[in-house]
Homo-oligomer: A and B are copies of this chain.
């Protein structure tokens, strides 16, 4: 078996998701930091790994994989018993819909490059960026909270084992807290994030746990 290498950035939500997934599988992997602040993701060395110039990229099974959710689906298909998706198609559909409500409808809009472009267009500074983050993370998580108002929600987003939905939720809650989003009305989300924070796989993946010294 070839070595597994994760090219990531400590604060990237998409990298954080893949770290949680690898930890849940008790994977032995090596991390190579790609410093987004220094533009390392736009260097040819990284573009050869990921033509999109994004993190993460995962070297595994002799392949170079990109797109965090596609990586997690690959791990679910090739490593049995991951629990990333439930066994029944309706349950899998619900978990994916929750994951996408975060990974599609919140996260890309709050990408640092998008927020930087808004700052440039408006001539506004950090306050414009923070308001942008608060609006789109706040609106998006409120919709997720409503989706969680369903009988299938348990200790975690779907039942009592963590799935791909929780893997997406936790990094988004981390970002929400970073930007000062008011989470007080989002009781289900806060309860689920707290339950995840008890799990070693989630704790070890936290940005503070992997931040370079």
Partner-B contacts on A (CB < 8 A)? 47, 51-54, 61, 63, 65-67, 69-71, 73-74, 77-78, 89-90, 92-94, 96-97, 100-101, 103-105, 107-109, 111, 114, 117-118, 121-122, 124, 128, 132, 135-136, 143, 146-147, 149
Contact = CB atoms under 8 A, between A and B. Distances in A.
A97 B67 contact: yes
Nearest to A128: B121
Copies in the complex: 2
Contacts of A51: 143, 146-147, 149
Nearest to A135: B117
Contact of A96 (B70, B124, B132): B70
A77 B143 CA distance: 26
Given A109-B109, A117-B135, A118-B121, 5 more contacts: A52-B146, A69-B104, A73-B92, A105-B108, A108-B108
Contacts of A94: 70
B143 A101 contact: no
A78 B93 CA distance: 11
A83 B109 CA distance: 31
